[in-house]
Amino acid sequence: EIICYLEKLNTLAAQLQEEFSLEQVIIVPGDSSRDIYAKKDIGRAAARCLKESLYDGCRVAVTGGTTLAEVAHSMSGVVTARDVLVVPARGGLGGEVEEQANVVAARIAKAIGAEYRLLHLPDNLEESLLESLKKDARIKEVVELVKSCNILVHGIGVALEMAARRGLSPEGLQVLEERGAVGEVLRYYFNREGQIVYSQPGIGIEFEDMGGLKKVIAVAGGSNKAEAIAAVLRNHRRGVLVTDEGAARKILQKG
C-alpha cells in the first residue's frame, strides 16, 4: 500500500514537472494548509535539495516566510562544498523573528558552516528612501552580493495575504484585485497566466536578476496556495519545486 501511495506521488510529480517544464518536482505527503507536519516535511525535503545543489564558491539567496523557516530548521550536517555564502534575497518584513529572510540566511549558513551576510533593512520603505539607501556603500556591497547569487530558494505566497503582510496600501490592494493577482514572490505579484501585474519597491534580488541564477528552488505547499504556485510556475517555467500533495492535486485539477 505504501509503495502504491509513493508511486502515486511520483506520478503527480512527473505531471507537474511536465506541465510547468520544471527541472525537478518533489512532493511530500499531506496538505500543509491543514497539517503542520506536512510543512515540516516540505522544509526537510527542500533542505536536502539545497544541500545537494551546493558547490564550491556558490552564493545562495533565501527569502523569509514560515516555509523557509522550516527549511532553515531542517538544515544540518556536513556539506562538502567550500566557500559557500548565504544571503537574504531581500530586506526584512517584520513579524516573527524566525521568519525573517536575514534569520533564515544566518541559520542555514551556521548549520552548514558557511559564511553569511545580512541586509539590515526593512523591505517595505518608501521608494525615495529606498533609492537613497541603495547608494550607501555598505548596503550597496551586500546588495551586489545578493544580486550575484547563483542559487535562489524562495517561498510563494497568496497575493492578497502577502500584500497585507507587506503592508500594501488600500489603493495597492485594489489594483491587485483589479488585475487578478493570485500569487506572490519577492514583492512581485502574478496573475493566473503568470504575468507580473504589480511589484512593490524593495531592496535585494530584482526580477531581472533571476535570469542569471543557476538554480531556483521554489518551496511552497498547501491546497490554499495551489493557484498562487501555478501562477508563479507559469512565469518561471524552470527550476525545482518542493511542495505537498494538497497543493499538487489541486494545481493539476485546474490543469
- List residues binding ligand BG6 (CB under 6 A): 63-67, 154-157, 162, 184-186
Kindly state the smallest distance separating residue 27's Cβ from ligand BG6, in Å.
17
All 3 cell numbers of residue 87? 544571503
User: What is the Cα gyration radius of the chain?
Assistant: 17
* Closest to 81 in 3D by CA, of 151, 147, 148, 142: 151
- CA distance linking residue 85 with residue 196, whole number of Å: 29
State which residue, 54 or 72, has the beta carbon closest to ligand BG6: 72
| Residues 6 or more apart in contact with residue 112 via CB below 8 angstroms | 51, 54, 75, 76, 77, 78, 79, 84
State which residue, 85 or 92, has the beta carbon closest to ligand BG6: 92
All 3 cell numbers of residue 38? 506536512
Kindly state the smallest distance separating residue 62's Cβ from ligand BG6, in Å.
9
Kindly state the smallest distance separating residue 160's Cβ from ligand BG6, in Å.
12
Distance of CA 240 to the CA centre of its chain: 11
CB 44 within 8 A of CB 74: yes
Kindly state the smallest distance separating residue 105's Cβ from ligand BG6, in Å.
12
State which residue, 13 or 104, has the beta carbon closest to ligand BG6: 104
Kindly state the smallest distance separating residue 157's Cβ from ligand BG6, in Å.
3
Beta-bridged to residue 182, according to DSSP, are none
Kindly state the smallest distance separating residue 137's Cβ from ligand BG6, in Å.
26
- CA distance linking residue 22 with residue 59, whole number of Å: 22
State which residue, 154 or 250, has the beta carbon closest to ligand BG6: 154
All 3 cell numbers of residue 184? 506572490
State which residue, 139 or 157, has the beta carbon closest to ligand BG6: 157
Kindly state the smallest distance separating residue 152's Cβ from ligand BG6, in Å.
10
State which residue, 85 or 156, has the beta carbon closest to ligand BG6: 156
The alpha helices in the chain, defined as continuous H runs, are 2-19, 36-53, 66-74, 101-112, 127-133, 137-147, 159-165, 170-178, 226-236, 245-254
- CA distance linking residue 157 with residue 145, whole number of Å: 25
State which residue, 51 or 90, has the beta carbon closest to ligand BG6: 90
